[in-house]
Structure formats: structure tokens, C-alpha cells
Amino acid sequence: MTDAGARQVDWLHIARETADDLATDAVEREQAGRAPLDEVARLRESGLLTLMAPAELGGGGGDWRTACAVVRTVAAADGAIGHLLGNHYFLSSSARFFTTPTRAACIERDATVGQWCWGGGIASHEPPLVLTPAADGYLLDGYQRYATGVGIADRLVVRAAHYGTGEPLAVLVDPTHPGVVSGISGDTFGQRLAAGGAVEFGSVPVAADDVLGTLSPDEGVLSPFASLAVPTARLVSAQFCLGIAEGLLAEVHEHGRAVRSPWQPFSAEPWPDRPPQDPYTLAVYGELAVTARAASALADQAVEALLRGLAQGDDLDDEESAETAVLASVAEAAASRAAQEITTRALDVIGADAASVRHGLDRFWRDARTHTLREPTAPRLREIGDYFLNGTHPSFTLPA
């Protein structure tokens, strides 16, 4: 086995151990809804926070295939923490897309040494903050409606418009500055442990080096390689959705084998040696398993395309970048639909007992629905159709 293969096996093993640890008290922690300081400490102790940092800088040297598998594994056990970790991986790697290799290496070295947990968000639909030139850099002002991890992050990456030109920029911010006020109106019904919410910036100083680069969607501004930021983020979204779907199917598998089918007529006869093989139960579980596996296969295909694109670097052309973006959008749309369908229908296998608060099965639906409300599939489907019918390249639109 190669060194890369050994690292991958080790990280997946660590992810499964971490997921098992999170699963033991997932229901209680989700219902309490406290800031996930302990959960982030578990991720930090496991080494998963530095998985994506280059090995030569002290990190895990993992690639996006490994990171996606880790996000999916953790999300299956605890959706909010999986979402938090996926956003951390994307935001901690964002400098690779938007700034120079030298500056990106410097940021990743500092992040690895400090074991930073990253938060924020550079979604295209967020109204941008305002970045005003100052004597020794810039000042950041404004209000962001929602960002993941703002309550516990060591660093934030946010979207800001340059005052005067309006150019959208990716900006690195230290959230410990007193001008950063986070956690405003973070009252969503799902993803309670993602430490998400609104964040306000008041005259927060930003060094020139911490302006990572442009997020302009205008044609020709970003290189094909930088444009891979979009499919990267979309695949993180897809893995989160798949993790949620697979996590609930696993729960239903355990509960469904232990309870009487909701469609089976009551009988005073003793139970047979195994749970009833009700045909309706089997059909529902079979349909949902097909849905999950089909979405998984599309996600795997898109991840491989992303890895090929990243390996090409500056040699990547516009058409290859667009094809990768479309494959990622297809995967995200399929995973989103799978998560919504599975978290709605899978509970039918258990029946009325699934409504019990002690099982906490509703958290899967709430986590998935919170995410899919922020990331609807309709715009992705329009872009996919426009590409296949007209050859139109998808726009540079970063997800939540």
C-alpha cells in the first residue's frame, strides 16, 4: 500500500471512531443545543481539523476524496458537526483557490500550528460586507445573515465588497476582535450544534495580506482552477446530505428490526424468531436504499472529476472546469433530494414509535431540511439543463 493509501485508511478509521463517540450522546447534545465547544475539542484531539493541511506544513496531507468520506461519516452520526467540519475543510482550503501559493502556505502553516477551527461563509447569495481602504490595510463593516461556526471559530472567511469598486472579495478575519459580534438570531430548528448564526462587523481591521482574492463572477476574471472552488463546496454539501440520509437509514435499520411493522395487524400471537417481513416495510426500505446508493454513486463520480481538475492546476481549461462544476451540481441535487426523501419516508418503517422524543430521529430531518432550505436545488437544475442543452457554463455561485 502507498503512503497516501495508508493515510486514507488511517483517517477513515479515525473518522469512524470519532463518529462512534459522537453517536453515543448525539440525541442529548442536539436537544440541549449548547455551543459545540466540546465537540470541536473532540475533532481537534482526533486530528481531523488538520486533515486537509499539507503534510510538509504539519498537517494530515489528506485529499478531497478522504475529506469527503470523513464529512459523510461524521454527518451520519451527528449532522450538525458534520456540517461544521465540512465547512471547516472548505474554508480552511479556500486560500488555495483565491490567493497566491506562498500566501496560502503561510496561512495553512499558521492554521496547522494553532489547530484553527474555521467558520464563516462566502455564499454568493449573502449581501456582501463592505471593505474600506484604511491607512494600514482595510476596515470591515456590515452584517452577514448566516455563517457556520461563527460562535466557536478561530478564523472566519467572509465575503466583502471593496468600497468604491464593489468587487466581491474573500477576506480572512480574526473573530476575537471586539468589533466582531456573532451568534445573532441563530435560532434555526435544525443544525443546532453547527454554531451558526448571524455575525456583525464594526470597523474590524483587516491586513492587506488577509484579503485573499476576488470572488467576481464576471467571465474571465477567475482562472479555471480558482473556479473549482464552486464544485468543491458543492461536494461538501452533497457529502453532508448523504451522511444525513445514510445515518437515518442505519438508525431505521436498528429500530425497524426491533419493532412490529406499523402495517402489520395487531395479533396476540407471540413474535416469531425474527421481526416480521412485512412487504410494505421491505419495499420502502428498498426504495430508499436505491435512492441513497444512486446519489452516492453520482457523488463519487464528481469527486473523482474534482481530483483530476485539482491535479491539473493551471493547465485546467474552462471546459474541463465547467464539466466538473456540472457534475458536482448533479451530485448535490441528487444528494439533496435523497436526504429530503429519506428523512421524510424512512420513519414510516418504524411507525408511531419514531415520533418519540427519546429516539431523536427528527434531528435528521431538521438538519437536512435546514440545509436544503438554504441550498435549494432549483437553481442547480436550471444550470444543469442549460449546460446539457446549450453548452452554457455554470456561473460562479458559491453555496451556503
Report the C-alpha gap between 192 and 31 in whole angstroms.
Answer: 8
Please compute Rg for the chain using Cα positions: 22
Residues 6+ apart with CB under 8 A from 58: 50, 109, 112, 113
Q: Please tell me the predicted confidence (pLDDT) of residue 268.
A: 47
Please say if the pLDDT value at position 282 is more than 80.
yes
Report the C-alpha gap between 229 and 321 in whole angstroms.
Answer: 10
The half-sphere exposure of 252 on its side-chain side, counting CA atoms within 13 A, is 29
In the chain, what is the greatest distance between 2 CA atoms, to the nearest angstrom? 83
Task: Tell me whether strands 168-173 and 211-214 are parallel, antiparallel or unpaired.
Answer: antiparallel
Q: What is the pTM of this model?
A: 0.93
Report the C-alpha gap between 399 and 379 in whole angstroms.
Answer: 11
**Predicted confidence band at 298 (pLDDT cuts at 50, 70, 90)?**
very high
Report the C-alpha gap between 130 and 365 in whole angstroms.
Answer: 36
Report the C-alpha gap between 6 and 85 in whole angstroms.
Answer: 22
Work out the angle between the directed axes of helices 64-77 and 3-23 (0-180°, nearest 10).
10
C-alpha closest to that of 363 among 283, 244, 273, 277: 244
Report the C-alpha gap between 127 and 9 in whole angstroms.
Answer: 41
Report the C-alpha gap between 53 and 143 in whole angstroms.
Answer: 30
**Predicted confidence band at 4 (pLDDT cuts at 50, 70, 90)?**
very low
C-alpha closest to that of 350 among 274, 268, 250, 273: 250
Which comes out higher in pLDDT, residue 360 or 328?
Answer: 328
Task: Tell me whether strands 129-134 and 155-162 are parallel, antiparallel or unpaired.
Answer: parallel
Mark residue 220 as left, alpha or beta (left: phi above 0; alpha: psi -120 to 50; beta: remaining).
left
SS (H, E, C) the chain: CCHHHHHHHHHHHHHHHHHHHHHCCHHHHHHHCCCCHHHHHHHHHHCHHHCCCCHHHCCCCCCHHHHHHHHHHHHHHCHHHHHHHHHHHHHHHHHHHHCCHHHHHHHHHHHHHHCCCEEEECCCCCCCEEEEEECCEEEEEEEEEEEECCCCCCEEEEEEEECCCCCEEEEEECCCCCCEEEEECCCCCCCCCCCCEEEEEEEEEECHHHEEEECCCCCCCCCHHHHCHHHHHHHHHHHHHHHHHHHHHHHHHHHHCCCCCCCCCCCCCCCCCCCCCCHHHHHHHHHHHHHHHHHHHHHHHHHHHHHHHHHHHHHCCHHHHHHHHHHHHHHHHHHHHHHHHHHHHHHHHCHHHHHCCCCCCHHHHHHHHHHHHHCCCHHHHHHHHHHHHHCCCCCCCCCC
Please say if the pLDDT value at position 123 is more than 80.
yes
Please say if the pLDDT value at position 384 is more than 70.
yes
Convert the pLDDT of each residue in 221-274 to its tens digit.
999 999 999 999 999 999 999 999 999 999 988 876 655 566 555 554 544 555
Report the C-alpha gap between 160 and 120 in whole angstroms.
Answer: 12
Q: Please tell me the predicted confidence (pLDDT) of residue 255.
A: 74
Convert the pLDDT of each residue in 9-65 to its tens digit.
489 999 999 999 999 999 999 999 899 999 999 999 999 999 999 999 989 999 999
Q: Do residues 397 and 380 make contact, with C-beta atoms less than 8 angstroms apart? A: no
Convert the pLDDT of each residue in 201-228 to its tens digit.
999 999 999 999 999 999 899 999 999 9
Work out the angle between the directed axes of helices 378-390 and 318-345 (0-180°, nearest 10).
140
Q: Please tell me the predicted confidence (pLDDT) of residue 358.
A: 84
Residues 31-65 as b/e (b if ≥16 CB within 10 A, e otherwise) read: eeeeebeebbeebeebebbbbbbbeebebbbbbbb
Domains of the chain, CATH where assigned: 3-117 (1.10.540.10), 120-214 (2.40.110.10), 224-390 (1.20.140.10)
